[in-house]
Structure 1
Amino acid sequence: MRYVHVEFEFPPAVRHPMHDFLDGGDGRRSELLTWRRLPDGTLATLFRVAAPREPYLDRLREVEAIERFETVPGEAPFYLKAYERLGGPTERFLDAFVDTEYLSVPPVVFRPAGRLSFGLIGPPDQLRDALAAVPNPIAVEIDRIGSYGGGRRLAGVRLTERQREALRAAHRVGYYEVPRTGSVDDVAASIGCSSSTAGAHLRKAEAALVDAFLG
């Protein structure tokens, strides 16, 4: 099965109000875990939300398209089930994938600045048509492509290519073995940089992965 991880950027004019809410503080994000379009056209969704609970719910109550919602008690991150009347940019975005064999690989991750990312599995020959059908002015970028091997994927984790290269090198030289058989110096030699630079790449990549895993 072919796996594609895609990043989208929604400009303010076509951004969902709750996506806009994520711009209001550091570390805010929401993850769409599962969803279903009901026969009456309503979209039923289950979210995991990493944002201040009461301000988020207060903003949600102001969104006219939200018909009802319920939550699991607790502070952030919390779980939210919502029912929304489809229409406008959200419906046009979903329609881009309706007539394809692509299946999404949850979670669909919403981050500040209108960024959204998720994985897809399906036939490669349908990818171009699906992405071409994404309505303007939503920007599209393919982040990863390859074979799908299952397992937990931390969709939405933003690593630079150099950070990814450092992680791969660290794994290759035994830096993550127990007991450790490789050093930061070995990673630096493998990717052609100083030890301090290699260490910085590893720390930043590890911090991003841990933050995503713990929410």
Structure 2
Amino acid sequence: MRYVHVEFEFPPGVRHPMHDFLDGGDDRRSELVTWRRLPDETLAALFRVTAPREAYLERLRAIDAIERFETAPGADSFFLKAYERLGGPTETFIDAFVDTEFLSVPPVVFRPAGRLSFGLIGPPDQLRDALAAIPDPITVEIDRIGSYGGGRRLAGVGLTERQREALRAANHVGYYEVPRTGSVDDVAAAIDCSPSTAGAHLRKAEAALVDAFLGRSG
């Protein structure tokens, strides 16, 4: 099975209001657990949301396209089941994958700055056409491609946005190359902080990833 992990960036003009809400803090994120497009063109979706609950729901109530929703508590987060009338960029984005054989691999993760990432399993010859159908203002980056081998849901590890920035910068400057070609100082310069702060971000992120891989809880 061929696997590809894709990250999209939605600019403010085409970003869903609830995705835009995540810009309020580095620790805010939302995971799409499962979804279904109903015959009446309503999107029924279940999310796991990490954000201030009451502020999030107040914003949700102000969106005309949201027909109804319900919530349930979770550890350090809450679950949201929502029904939304499709239209605009959201519908166009979904339509890009509707007529393909791709299956999404959870989690589908929404993060601040309009970023959305998820994995796909499907025929490589359909990938180009699917990505070409994404509306032009939305940028696409393929950050992993190969054979699917299962594994743990490392993409869903609860890192802060700053920790993710540090990891991306470390990978870019060669900090994880063998032999290492980049330093903590290089990471610090890339994310505009002190070396001690960059080192702390990396250590905490690496510890969370190791714990997730080994199945340990915090």
TM range (shorter): 0.7 to 0.9
Alignment CA distance shift 1:121-1:202 (3 Å): farther
SS at match of 1:46: strand
- Gaps (5+ residues) in structure 1? 170-189
Alignment CA distance shift 1:56-1:195 (3 Å): closer
Displaced runs of 4+ in structure 1, greater than 4 A? Answer: 164-169, 192-203, 211-215
1:87-106 equivalence runs, <5 A: 87-106=87-106
In the alignment, the residues of structure 2 paired with residue 25 and residue 205 of structure 1 have an alpha-carbon distance, to the nearest angstrom, of 19
Structure having the higher Rg: 1
Over residues 77-126 of structure 1, what are the superposed CA-to-partner deviations in whole Å (9 max), with x where a residue is unaligned? 11111111111100000000111111100111111111111110111111
Which amino acid letter does the alignment assign opposite residue 27 of structure 1? D
**How many pairs does the alignment contain?**
195
Alignment match, 1:119 = 119
1:33-48 equivalence runs, <5 A: 33-48=33-48
Among 147, 154, 168, the alignment partner of 1:160 is 168
**Range that drifts further, 192-201 or 134-143:** 192-201
- Would you say the 8 A contact 2:102–2:123 is kept in 1? yes
Shift of 1:191: 1.7
- Would you say the 8 A contact 1:49–1:80 is kept in 2? yes
User: What is the TM-score of this pair, normalised by structure 2?
Assistant: 0.78
SS at match of 2:145: strand
Alignment match, 1:208 = 205
Q: CA RMSD in A?
A: 2.9
- Would you say the 8 A contact 1:163–1:205 is kept in 2? no
In the alignment, the residues of structure 2 paired with residue 55 and residue 61 of structure 1 have an alpha-carbon distance, to the nearest angstrom, of 10
- Gaps (5+ residues) in structure 2? 188-194
Alignment CA distance shift 1:204-1:147 (3 Å): farther
Identical amino acids, percent of aligned pairs: 71
Shift of 1:194: 6.1
- Would you say the 8 A contact 2:5–2:119 is kept in 1? yes
Alignment match, 1:130 = 130
SS at match of 2:64: coil
1:62-73 equivalence runs, <5 A: 62-73=62-73
Alignment CA distance shift 1:105-1:75 (3 Å): closer
In the alignment, the residues of structure 1 paired with residue 102 and residue 203 of structure 2 have an alpha-carbon distance, to the nearest angstrom, of 31
Alignment CA distance shift 1:16-1:192 (3 Å): closer
In the alignment, the residues of structure 1 paired with residue 40 and residue 80 of structure 2 have an alpha-carbon distance, to the nearest angstrom, of 21
Alignment CA distance shift 1:75-1:146 (3 Å): closer
Alignment CA distance shift 1:148-1:205 (3 Å): farther
Which amino acid letter does the alignment assign opposite residue 115 of structure 1? R
Alignment match, 2:190 = none
In the alignment, the residues of structure 1 paired with residue 26 and residue 169 of structure 2 have an alpha-carbon distance, to the nearest angstrom, of 23
Alignment CA distance shift 1:67-1:76 (3 Å): farther
Shift of 1:39: 1.1
In the alignment, the residues of structure 2 paired with residue 195 and residue 75 of structure 1 have an alpha-carbon distance, to the nearest angstrom, of 33
In the alignment, the residues of structure 2 paired with residue 82 and residue 38 of structure 1 have an alpha-carbon distance, to the nearest angstrom, of 12
Shift of 1:193: 5.4
In the alignment, the residues of structure 2 paired with residue 205 and residue 78 of structure 1 have an alpha-carbon distance, to the nearest angstrom, of 27
Shift of 1:151: 1.8
